[in-house]
Amino acid sequence: MPVRTDPLSYLASEIDSLKSQGLYRHLRILDGEQKPKSTFDHRQVVNLSSNNYLGLTTHPALREAALDATRRLGVGSGSVRTIAGTMDVHMELERRLAAFKKTEAVVVFQSGFAANAGTVAAVLTKDDVVVSDELNHASIIDGCRLSRAAIKVFPHKNAAAARTILRDLPSAQRKLLITDGVFSMDGDVGAVPELCALAEEFGCIMMVDDAHASGVFGANGRGTIDHFGMHGRVDIQVGTLSKAVGALGGYVAGSRTLIEFLYHRARPFLFSTSHPPAVAAACIAAIDVLEKEPQIIQRLWDNTKFFKAGLQKLGFNTGLSESPITPVIVGEGSLAMTLSDRLFAEGVFAQGIAFPTVARDKARVRTIVTATHTRDELQFALDVFGRVGRELGIV
């Protein structure tokens, strides 16, 4: 018998290359609940790495709703939505989200990633064109590729450059103009009003991915469209249920026609099993919390202002952040990883992020505060940042 050589051996050299560049990461293991102070890899740390903006992952109302749904309905839906996997609780969640977002209808996907990739790929064909911010999320990029439409990228938030691209396209060609509402690595806000005006001028479909704005921006956390007063001017709004909402999932809010089309053509909706009832029930409970307890969103913003100002006072480069996501930009990938490791050793968990997630010279650690951090926890984190930043010559 011939000796079989491993056809995947090239992967080991990729990993060796990551190791030699100081970019190899192991998965940190969370022991217990996702909290502002948690135990990762057996060390208790102030946790600045979750997207649990409002602390809803452990909110008693969500937990109870999930337990009650599990007791009544079981642990799984048993099918994709289009065959036997649409339960009352899925439909109720979509109705509640549509009312919350002030749109005609909503379709829920298994994740925000599936919502973006599945929707862009469904609404465009190879004859169409997508005009996309250069820092849009990977799920948008994948959706664009899957659609086979032509992809035109404009420099980050540069509406004038987007206009030049649109002006040079044939007027009859179908165009999708797309931006993140909040950019996940920089924490800045997309050029939503300027791009909505362009979409109207050039007859584009306008799409905003509000993953990091859901539960954070706008009245009761309705997102950047609400924040900018753009209701009715964005054709496709994506939100996530996996970050501030505390559970799992993504959704598209828009016209009834759009949603019916996605029910028939969005491949993650058609070909992947729907949420367990516990997830849908927890998300409904989260909407109740957003509607009845908006003060937690205020607490998130108070903590955000305190922490961001503290980092800036220490002399760190926090980029152009306008949200609870505050990057600490250091340049070299290996320096970002060293900073993250040193912070962790001193009791603060802020993930290092390097190329290809961000540009080679813009490596960083990313911090995200939540509504549930105490001032003492945030002050402790700032003290550690100051000490370690000086030790590494960053400030």
Ligand X SMILES: Cc1ncc(COP(=O)(O)O)c(C=O)c1O
Residues noted as catalytic? 184, 212, 243
* CB 142 to ligand X: min, Å: 11
If binding is defined by CB under 6 A, does position 179 make contact with ligand X? no
User: Least distance in Å: CB of 242 to ligand X?
Assistant: 3
Nearest-angstrom CA–CA distance, 62 and 133: 35
Closest CA to 58 of 33, 93, 84: 33
By CB under 6 A, name the one of 121, 211, 234, 348 that touches ligand X. 211
Shortest gap between Cβ of 357 and ligand X (angstroms)?
10
Q: How many residues bind ligand X (CB under 6 A)?
A: 14
Please tell me whether residue 135 binds ligand X under the rule CB under 6 A.
no
CB of 172 to ligand X, least distance (A): 31
Ordered DSSP codes for 194-212: HHHHHHHHHT-EEEEE-TT
**Which residue sits closest to ligand X, CB atoms considered?**
112
Measured from the CB atom, is 53 or 385 closer to ligand X?
53
| 261: its two tokens | 């089309």
**Looking at 89-97, 205-213, 264-272, 367-375, which segment touches ligand X (CB under 6 A)?**
205-213
Residue number with CB closer to ligand X (191 or 335):
191
Q: Which of 209, 235, 346, 377 binds ligand X (CB under 6 A)?
A: 209
Q: Does 366 bind ligand X (CB under 6 A)?
A: no
* Residue from 133, 180, 188, 346 binding ligand X (CB under 6 A): 180
Stretch that binds ligand X, among 93-101, 206-214, 215-223, 327-335 (CB under 6 A): 206-214
Kindly indicate which of the ranges 69-77, 83-91, 105-113, 147-155 contains the residues binding ligand X, using the contact rule CB under 6 A. Answer: 105-113
Rounded Cα distance, 290 and 293, in Å: 6
**How does DSSP assign 211-273, residue by residue?**
TTTTTTSSGGG--HHHHTT-TTS-SEEEEESSSTT-S--EEEEE-HHHHHHHHHH-HHHHHSB
Q: What's the closest the beta carbon of residue 237 comes to ligand X, in angstroms? A: 12
Taking CB under 6 A as the rule, does residue 112 contact ligand X? Answer: yes
| 356, burial (CB in 10 Å: exposed 0-12, middle 13-18, buried 19+) | exposed
3-class secondary structure for 367-394?
EECCCCCCHHHHHHHHHHHHHHHHHCCC
Residue with tokens 């993953």: 211
C-alpha–C-alpha distance, residues 97 and 253, integer Å: 8
Among 45, 49, 93, 113, binds ligand X (CB under 6 A): 113
Q: Which stretch binds ligand X (CB under 6 A): 110-118, 254-262, 286-294, 306-314?
A: 110-118
Quote the tokens at residue 186: 């920089």
Question: Distances from the Cα of 296 to the Cαs of 45, 229, 283, 303, in angstroms?
Answer: 23, 22, 17, 11
| The token pair that represents 377 in the structure block | 């926890």
Q: Which of residues 226-255 bind ligand X (CB under 6 A)?
A: 240, 242, 250
The residue range among 154-162, 208-216, 304-312, 326-334 that interacts with ligand X, by the rule CB under 6 A, is 208-216
**Nearest alpha carbon to residue 236 among 117, 328, 79:** 117
Q: Does 326 bind ligand X (CB under 6 A)?
A: no
For residues 285 and 288, give the distance between their C-alpha atoms in angstroms, rounded to a whole number.
5
Amino acid at 44: Q
* Candidate list 38, 139, 179, 318; residue touching ligand X; CB under 6 A: 139
- Strands in 291-377 per DSSP E: 325-331, 348-349, 351-353, 363-368
d(CA 37, CA 373): 8
Q: How far is the CB of 49 from ligand X (least distance, A)?
A: 12
Least Å distance, CB 193 to ligand X, is: 19
Q: Is residue 119 within the footprint of ligand X (CB under 6 A)?
A: no
Task: State the burial class of residue 245 (Cβ atoms within 10 Å of its Cβ: 0-12, 13-18, 19+).
Answer: buried
Span of 148-156, 209-217, 319-327, 352-360 interacting with ligand X by CB under 6 A: 209-217
Q: At closest approach, how far in Å is the CB of 283 from ligand X? A: 11
184 binds ligand X (CB under 6 A): yes
Residues that bind ligand X (CB under 6 A): 111-113, 116, 137, 139, 180, 184, 209, 211-212, 240, 242, 250
